[in-house]
Amino acid sequence: MDSLEIKPAERLSGVTPVAADKSISHRLAMIAAIAEGATTIHNFAESVDCESTLECLRNLGVKVERTRSSLIIHGRGLHGLEPPPQALNAGNSGTTVRSMSGLLAGCGFESIFVGDESLSRRPMKRIIDPLRQFGATIEARDGNYLPLKILGRPLNAIDFTLPIPSAQVKSCVLLAGLQAQGVTTVHEPVFSRNHTEIALAEFGARIRMGENRIEVEGGHALRGKEFSVPGDPSAAAFFIAAAIAVPNSSLRLTGIGLNATRTGYMRLLAQMQARVTITQLSVRNGEPVGDVCAESSDIAGMDIGGSWIPNIIDEIPVLAVLGTRTQNGIRFRDAAELRAKESDRIHAVARNLRALGAAVEEYPDGLFVPGGQRLHGAAVDSFGDHRIAMAFAIAGLFADGPVVIKDPACVSISFPGFFDLLNRVRV
Ligand code: S3P
């Protein structure tokens, strides 16, 4: 499929789950691989990114079984991974290569990570630096890019302050800390998603989570157990935006992960007077879960920056699209990290919004999308980036004419059923 046309929608309605959480699925699979015994994971994400993680684990000697409703990972224990017979291919997935590098740094063998063109352009120095401090030997192209060669060694615990708020870097350090001698401490000046910490506690790791600081003690066995993955709030974000923007719409998204490190998007929308409510709240495997109801709303707009940014980093493209519907526009600052994602998302959003006839101001670290703008139909590019494709599919629902998305298949990186679900909620 080279392109896909999204026609304007009259109204949206429905009650539906969305794709399972990609971040949590990656982490459960990786930690299960080094636990003792089997881990059963219900609702494991079917995304291509999580499949990359499973394929890398299989290459490290991990047995992964699929039943109709779940995935079973047979753990090999803290020191049980095997030397891979070939390079580990992380595909498009930053979480796979950055987190799993932590897992491999303490193994007594050599591993090489490769990835697709987009991943090969993304910075890896951010994980190389702490892993070298642990005592691992790592080589990368120009010191920063794939292929990454990791020569695992016995590690010594480190005390590390995250120079950028990145959950992938934090996960890398915590996973390396599991195999290091001593207590590894991570200081986190700005919070990022904490699914690794929660999962490690569930697997029985000796981990302490304090204000802006996490400690993990190395050398202790983890125990496999049963998990259920919630719906991905970053996948729900597209449908929440759709319900808000298309008149007379109402969507209820069921079983969505509501971890506070991921709900900034919903909280900001509520501050902008959007009608977004949460019901059926419960906690599963340490993660809050609930239903999110979103209805058509007039929203005010606002300036967003600082510590909000890591919490909403994956939602910024769709929030920028929604910015055209606000009264006063949305300004994003402090978001330079967006330029180092699967595409340069600041550039991609600005290019595509302009293609749809909108005015946008681009900054080195963000964007300003003025409010009260009508979008016209036109062709836009996904830039091979799943979140850009999905954000502009939502634009197609409320533009004055059809929006044609070039290279739409990339949505399967996080949400293989995205376009089908979009059709099902149209009335
Ligand atoms: C992720 C962390 C974020 C996010 C990415 C998934 C994770 O990246 O953008 O989609 O699963 O840890 P950074 O940690 O690089 O900010």
Tens of pLDDT, residue by residue over 4-32, are 999 999 999 999 999 999 999 999 999 99
Strands 287-295 and 250-257: antiparallel
Consecutive H or E run containing 397 = helix 386-398
- Could you report the per-residue pLDDT of 263-313, keeping only the tens digit for each? 999 999 999 999 999 999 999 999 999 999 999 999 999 999 999 999 999
Query: Both ends of the chain: CA-CA distance in Å?
Result: 25
Longest dimension (CA), the chain: 61
Q: Is the CB of 242 under 6 A from ligand 1?
A: no
Using the mean position of ligand 1's atoms as its centre, give its distance from the Cα of residue 351 in Å.
Answer: 23
Q: Is the CB of 313 under 6 A from ligand 1?
A: yes
- State which of 21, 307, 313 you would mutate to test the pocket of ligand 1, scoring each by most atoms of that ligand within 8 A of its C-beta: 313
Q: How far is residue 169's CA from residue 125's CA, in Å, rounded to a whole number? A: 10
Using the mean position of ligand 1's atoms as its centre, give its distance from the Cα of residue 168 in Å.
Answer: 6
21, 233 in Cβ contact below 8 A? yes
Catalytic site includes residue 314: yes
Q: Is the CB of 92 under 6 A from ligand 1?
A: no
Q: Is the dihedral angle over the CA atoms 332, 336, 340, 345 positive or is it negative?
A: positive
Instruction: Map out the domains of the chain with their CATH numbers.
Output: 3-20+230-424 (3.65.10.10), 22-228 (3.65.10.10)
CB count within 10 Å of CB 108 equals: 11
Taking CA atoms only, the protein residue closest to ligand 1 atom 11 is 23
Confidence of residue 317 (pLDDT cuts 50, 70, 90): very high
Structure tokens belonging to residue 83: 């030397």
pLDDT at residue number 323: 98
State mean pLDDT over 86-100.
98
Q: What angle do CA 117, 121, 125 make, to 5 degrees?
A: 140
- State which of 24, 52, 92, 95 you would mutate to test the pocket of ligand 1, scoring each by most atoms of that ligand within 8 A of its C-beta: 95
Taking CA atoms only, the protein residue closest to ligand 1 atom 3 is 167
* pTM score above 0.95: yes
Label residues 307-340 b or e (16+ Cβ within 10 Å = b). Answer: ebbbbbbbbbbbbbbbbbbbeebbbbbbbebbeb
State mean pLDDT over 136-146.
98
Query: What is the atom index within ligand 1 of the atom nearest the CA of 126?
Result: 15
Query: What is the atom index within ligand 1 of the atom nearest the CA of 165?
Result: 16
DSSP state of 183: E
Consecutive H or E run containing 405 = strand 403-406
Q: How far is residue 272's CA from residue 303's CA, in Å, rounded to a whole number? A: 11
pLDDT at residue number 362: 98
Structure tokens belonging to residue 189: 């000046």
State mean pLDDT over 33-42.
98
- Could you report the per-residue pLDDT of 245-263, keeping only the tens digit for each? 999 999 999 999 999 999 9
Structure tokens belonging to residue 193: 């998603």
The H-assigned helical ranges of 2-112 are 22-33, 48-59, 94-104
Taking CA atoms only, the protein residue closest to ligand 1 atom 15 is 166
pLDDT at residue number 69: 87
pLDDT at residue number 1: 76
68/132: higher pLDDT: 132
- State which of 31, 92, 118, 168 you would mutate to test the pocket of ligand 1, scoring each by most atoms of that ligand within 8 A of its C-beta: 168
- Could you report the per-residue pLDDT of 46-81, keeping only the tens digit for each? 999 999 999 999 999 999 999 988 999 999 999 999
312, 95 in Cβ contact below 8 A? no
pLDDT at residue number 374: 98
Pick the catalytic residue: 49, 232, 314, 385?
314
Residue/partner pairs of 161-164 with CB below 8 Å, 24 or more apart: 161/186, 161/187, 161/189, 162/186, 162/187, 162/188, 162/189, 162/192, 163/126, 164/126, 164/337
Q: Is the CB of 95 under 6 A from ligand 1?
A: yes
State mean pLDDT over 411-422.
98
Using the mean position of ligand 1's atoms as its centre, give its distance from the Cα of residue 68 in Å.
Answer: 29
Using the mean position of ligand 1's atoms as its centre, give its distance from the Cα of residue 130 in Å.
Answer: 17
Q: How far is residue 144's CA from residue 106's CA, in Å, rounded to a whole number? A: 20
Using the mean position of ligand 1's atoms as its centre, give its distance from the Cα of residue 403 in Å.
Answer: 28
CA 147 to chain centre: 22
